[in-house]
Amino acid sequence: MVWAMSQRSAGIIEEIEAEILNGKLQPGERLPSEEKLCERFNASRTVIREAIQQLRGRGLLRTTKGSGSYIADPSLDSLTTAMEAYASLVVEAGFMELIDFRILIETECARLAAVHAGESVLKELRQIVATMEKVQGVRAKFSKADIAFHLAIARGSGNRIYAGVLGAVERRCIDYAQTNRGDDDWYSGVIDSHRDILDAISAGLPDRAADAMRRHLLSSKRHFVDLGV
Partner DNA sequence: TCGTGAAAGTTGTCATACAGATTTGAGCTG
Partner DNA sequence: CAGCTCAAATCTGTATGACAACTTTCACGA
Which residues are at the interface with DNA (CB under 7 A)?
6-9, 31, 33-36, 43-47, 49-50, 52, 63-69
Residues 6+ apart with CB under 8 A from 41: 12, 15, 47, 48
Interaction between residue 138 and a second copy (CB under 8 A) = no
Interaction between residue 197 and a second copy (CB under 8 A) = no
Query: 45 is in the binding site of which of a second copy, DNA, none (Cβ under 5 to 8 A by kind)?
Result: DNA
Nearest approach, Cβ of residue 189 and DNA (Å): 48
Query: 68 is in the binding site of which of DNA, a second copy, none (Cβ under 5 to 8 A by kind)?
Result: DNA
Binding mask 8-37 for a second copy (x = CB under 8 A): ------------xxxx---x----------
8 A C-beta contact, residue 131 and residue 145: yes
Interaction between residue 97 and a second copy (CB under 8 A) = yes
- Whichever of 4 and 93 has its CB closer to DNA, that residue is 4
- Whichever of 7 and 75 has its CB closer to DNA, that residue is 7
Footprint of a second copy (CB under 8 A) = 6-7, 20-23, 27, 49-50, 53-60, 65, 72-76, 78-79, 81-86, 88-91, 93-94, 97-98, 100-101, 104-105, 108, 159-162, 164-165
